[in-house]
Chains A and B, each alone.
Chain A
């Protein structure tokens, strides 16, 4: 296995409060890594720090290091970073009537010099990427006319055109129904490139990630295969809810089921009344 990314004692503070605290882990080439944890655990901040996209202001400070292919990440230029990392947001809102082709074409940017125009190779690359995400037929369709799942596939196509080595996704299935959630995650897991994504749905994370990192209040509390991280003890402790784990299908990873304690259910019902 080739080591691609090393995160070494990473700390990120905003207004003196630790958002990430002493995080250390490595990532190998081709791994699909899921970052899980409750709201406010620092998942999105970790994604940003890994790819050097965090906003530095007077109220923020950081410690520790991130290495990409053995080189400190802050020594890379913004353009070089864009050649290594491709980001897929939860949701993108295109202004004006951008087409699928227009958006996929944006992926060429980190590889192009100032006055360069698109050549035949670029066009073939865009078509290949659209073909890979199943949108070859829709290249002239307006992005805003597509469904949420199709929009996510366009953004993944843009990431493929970007030819990045690491794909970063922040809650890629947040706005999608069950069908599209599985479609997108299945597509991502079969791309064959290194993936780091934050996932809220633990069952999806279990099913599609080879490895999981569990965060709680900025600290890394577990790192391993889904069956090692998704344990009743750990999840009950981090999510503060009783948890049941079942192992129905070994290929799909463990299934997670949370339930509210009886007294809390009664309290909620009374409050609702």
Chain B
């Protein structure tokens, strides 16, 4: 058995273990036996049924697919832009979603459960459309990333302007949403994210050789028959849709797309299929554990998930910088 296969098998086990742990943690103490009984057969009572099927299962499943999606989006963006620091957030997706959510909060103060994710999704797509239009004019990768950062700052500025003059309660709601949380997720969210994730995986599997060809440069890929600009725009659009869907339901969860592919490259490989499979498995497990920490670290409150991912992400990058300095 070759090394990547052994590592992938181990990661599948990690996902299963993480999911079981995700179902076990929570204010209501349940034994493993009760959880297994409830998931596989019948729940012991109505409360257990409600806690497992309406709270913990949706939460674990959404954490799983959101982690997978964010990590895959980061992996694909890094390979298609040949930039290890490329991340869905660099392309203005979260700023766009934030602007959409802000406008929804101000215009529609009720019916927010549907309007907020929808507006966030549209805002994210609006942001990525501007970045893609600029990219089409510039046609250069370094400028595409800079355009993403510029669009991101511009949309964040508009959001802050609206919030500054807006109603304080709406401002609070938007700020809390931007910090990211899985506390309000439902099974329907899981189905929508899974749908986009499956479509993305099918497209990536079909085009993995073409994405790999980009790793040796645009000219090299073009000589192998790859339409470089079309492929890059398609992948950018795909990552935008995937991230926008996740951000719409879960809010801003940073660093997953940046950090996870970096780990996968060290242990599995750099080519697209290996990177995407590894990122999906590690990203899914990672977000389940982050969510466990978010809801169990404090006894009387839940920490927004985006705060934990950002804190872990920054520590991780400092560690990588120190390690690379020592090995130089």
Contact = CB atoms under 8 A, between A and B. Distances in A.
Interface string B197-240: 00000000111011011011101101111110000000000000
Interface in B249-305: 265, 269-271
A191 B265 CA distance: 35
A162 B213 CA distance: 13
A87 B219 CA distance: 9
A238 B226 CA distance: 38
B195 interface: no
B293 to A, nearest CB: 30
B215 A94 contact: yes
Nearest to B261: A96
Nearest to A79: B225
A77 B224 CA distance: 11
- How many of chain B's residues touch chain A, expressed as a range? 20 to 34
B287 to A, nearest CB: 24
A78 B206 contact: no
B166 interface: no
Interface of A: 51, 53, 77-83, 85-87, 89, 92-98, 102-103, 105-110, 112, 114-115, 162
A112 B205 CA distance: 13
A109 B220 CA distance: 12
Contact of A106 (B82, B83, B224, B269): B224
Interface of B: 79, 82-84, 205-207, 209-210, 212-213, 215-217, 219-220, 222-227, 265, 269-271
Given A106-B224, A114-B207, A98 B219 contact: no
Given A82-B223, A87-B219, A106-B216, 14 more contacts: A78-B225, A83-B225, A86-B223, A94-B216, A96-B84, A96-B215, A96-B270, A98-B216, A102-B215, A106-B212, A106-B213, A109-B224, A110-B224, A114-B206
Given A103-B216, A109-B226, A98 B206 contact: no
Nearest to A168: B223
- A-B interface, 5 closest residue pairs, ranked by CB to CB distance from nearest: A82-B225, A87-B223, A96-B270, A114-B206, A79-B225
A44 B183 CA distance: 59
Given A53-B222, A78-B226, A106 B209 contact: yes
A82 B216 CA distance: 16
A94 B212 CA distance: 11
B220 A87 contact: yes
B74 to A, nearest CB: 13
A108 B225 CA distance: 11
Nearest to A87: B223
B226 to A, nearest CB: 7
B223 A102 contact: no
Given A96-B270, A97-B265, A109 B222 contact: no
8 contacts: A80-B225, A87-B220, A89-B217, A95-B82, A95-B83, A98-B216, A106-B212, A109-B210
A53 B223 contact: yes
A99 to B, nearest CB: 8
A243 B205 CA distance: 57
Given A87-B223, A106-B209, A97 B270 contact: yes
Nearest to B266: A97
A92 B217 contact: yes
Contacts of A98: 215-216, 270-271
A108 B206 CA distance: 14
Contact of A109 (B213, B219, B270, B271): B213
Nearest to A140: B3
Nearest to B274: A102
A103 B220 CA distance: 11
Contacts of A81: 225
A102 B212 contact: yes
Nearest to B275: A96
A105 B216 CA distance: 12
A95 B216 CA distance: 7
Nearest to A117: B273
Given A103-B216, A106-B216, A96 B265 contact: yes
A95 B269 CA distance: 12
Nearest to B82: A95
Contact of A95 (B215, B224, B225): B215
Contacts of A108: 209
Contacts of B206: 114-115
B216 A112 contact: no
